[in-house]
Amino acid sequence: MVLVSDLYRFLKNPKQLKPSEETNFFSVLKEFFIYDFVITFCWAFLIGICTLLFDDFASVFKSKKTINDTAINIFLVVAIIAPILEEFAYRFSLRINRLTISVGLAVQLIMYLHLLKFIHVSFNYRIILMFITAIVFYFSIGEKLSVYLRQKINLYVYFNLLLFTLLHALNFSYFEIYHYLYIPLLISLQFFFGLYLSYVRIKHNFLYVVIFHIIHNAFIIGVGLLIKL
């Protein structure tokens, strides 16, 4: 209950959360396991109920995009690479400074250009583009933008949380206009998970959120792979 109230206060006013001077990784890890289990179980339960009751919802949920590759490569992409990139894109810059803002915006920009099919290059080249773009941002707009965003920290936290959540709506196909009404339920897990990771990023450190995101995705993909066996 303490964590729930802390997250509620954080959601109401992110700037009131201050970095913790003393951090015990294992106590935070325990907190993460409990929170992640509860939100994942509740989400899976609601998804299961809706899938059984509504054929249209089931068709949208079952349209979730998958990677056609070996189990090892799927695990590598979903459980390792995706969490690291998403954390650099959406949480790294929540402790605002010139470097974090430049890196976060650069990763987001190249991700969106790829998703929108404006660039068609391999993963390695996209990483290089992110690196170059981050350098350009750092020496051009990084300092001024970081000063501005410190004054708008609440909006910046909400902005990144919203983008992270909506990113996962792209995993599904929508066959009718009203199917878009299912999006809030489909991505509700990512909202509550992203909220917690944003809280941990600011209160503790960046490495924690990377580890927690990897654990979360590894569990989800691991269960999915076992079901297919």
pLDDT means over runs of 10, the chain (229 residues): 92 94 89 96 96 95 84 88 97 97 97 93 95 97 93 97 96 95 97 98 96 95 69
- pTM higher than 0.75 for the full model? yes
Do residues 168 and 187 touch, judged by C-beta distance below 8 A? yes
Do residues 196 and 17 touch, judged by C-beta distance below 8 A? no
Question: What whole-number distance in Å separates Cα of residue 224 and Cα of residue 229?
Answer: 9
